[in-house]
Amino acid sequence: MKRPIRAGVPAYTYKQDKTEEKNIYRRLTIIGGITVVLLFILWFWGIAFIRIIGNLSTNDTDSVSKPRIEIPLQPPSLGDLPEFTNKDKISLSGTTSPQAKLKLIVNGAEASSTIADTGGSFSFVDVSLKDGINILKVKASNSSGESKETRVLITLDKTKPILTVISPTNGQVFPKNTSTLSIKGKTDTDATVLINSIQAITDKDGNFSYDLSASPGSINIEITANDKAGNAETQKLVVTIEK
């Protein structure tokens, strides 16, 4: 039995409407998906672009406000230090690069540390020494890992020099016609001899001599031997020239 056909309505209209409706939904779905993808891409690239601009701005600001100029590290320069001393403790000072870190090493062991001021000056106070030769090293370093050092030798000597007076002898009496007293003796080879504050001649073996002008009466003679460390030995004599 055949289905009746409405007058004026083509038989294919119903199917055509259904097909067009599906095509519209499909197109809307595709357009919606493309839109979402484009929005995601725009969002992603927008964030990345903002970060790039921010980094460029930060780097430019840092490069302008914080210039990084690395100054070569200067080796420590120490002030005048004695080669010999008779003091158990000494102080030393010097200069290096500003804000450099410094270590003081005495005879192989770290004794102290400090940081140079903005002018590069530094100091170490009351540095203990041992008898004999002391090796002192001042090591400077900076934030780049660079390091430089300076070394000095200081000898601690607390022994007084020997002093032997050969002539004259204490209390000796000389004839009234004596106008010069010949003072002779022996001391350490590196010592300096003063006779009444005037330096005497000393040979390589430590023998010394000095001719002291004299006049009748009592004469006081002071003989002092000084070594390089500052130790001193003194003898005082009184002789007489007859009137």
* Per-residue confidence (pLDDT) for residue 135, from 0 to 100: 97
* Per-residue confidence (pLDDT) for residue 149, from 0 to 100: 95
Instruction: Read off the tokens for 36.
Output: 């979402």
Buried b (16+ CB within 10 A) or exposed e, 101-123: bbbbbbeeeeeeeeebeeebebe
The residue among 140, 149, 136 whose CA lies nearest residue 99 is 140
Residue 8 lies in a domain: no
Q: Are residues 87 and 142 in the same domain?
A: yes
- Higher per-residue pLDDT: 95 or 2: 95
Q: How far apart are CA 95 and CA 198, in angstroms?
A: 39
Residue 191 lies in a domain: yes
Q: Would you say residue 154 has pLDDT above 90? A: yes
- Higher per-residue pLDDT: 231 or 41: 231
Q: Are residues 150 and 176 in the same domain?
A: no
Q: Are residues 27 and 43 in the same domain?
A: yes
Of 133, 156, 179, at which residue does a domain stop?
156
Q: Are residues 42 and 89 in the same domain?
A: no
Torsional class of 214: left (φ above 0), alpha (ψ -120 to 50), beta (otherwise): beta
* Per-residue confidence (pLDDT) for residue 168, from 0 to 100: 96
Query: CA 102, 108, 110 angle in degrees (round to 5)?
Result: 40
Q: Are residues 173 and 141 in the same domain?
A: no
Residue 9 lies in a domain: no
Q: Are residues 152 and 190 in the same domain?
A: no
Give the single-character DSSP code of 83. Answer: S
Q: Would you say residue 64 has pLDDT above 70? A: no
Residue 2 lies in a domain: no
Each residue's pLDDT tens digit, 169-189: 999 999 999 999 999 999 999
79 SS3 class? coil
Percent of the chain with pLDDT over 70: 77
- 90 contacts 127 by C-beta, under 8 angstroms: yes
* Per-residue confidence (pLDDT) for residue 60, from 0 to 100: 47
Of 102, 136, 156, at which residue does a domain stop?
156
Residue 114 lies in a domain: yes
Q: Would you say residue 63 has pLDDT above 50? A: no
Residue 177 lies in a domain: yes
Residue 1 lies in a domain: no
- Higher per-residue pLDDT: 193 or 19: 193
- Show the domain range for 226: 163-241
Buried b (16+ CB within 10 A) or exposed e, 52-82: eeeeeeeeeeeeeeeeeeeeebbebebeeee
Q: Are residues 149 and 185 in the same domain?
A: no
pLDDT class of 122 with cuts at 50, 70, 90: very high
Q: Are residues 126 and 89 in the same domain?
A: yes
Residue 11 lies in a domain: no
Domain count, the chain: 3
Q: How far apart are CA 21 and CA 196, in angstroms?
A: 132
Q: Would you say residue 105 has pLDDT above 70? A: yes
Q: Are residues 168 and 236 in the same domain?
A: yes
Q: What is the CATH number of the domain that holds 191?
A: 2.60.40.10
What is the value of pTM for the model shown? Answer: 0.65
To the nearest whole number, what is the mean pLDDT of the chain? 85
Q: Would you say residue 68 has pLDDT above 70? A: no
Q: How far apart are CA 164 and CA 208, in angstroms?
A: 10
Q: Are residues 140 and 192 in the same domain?
A: no
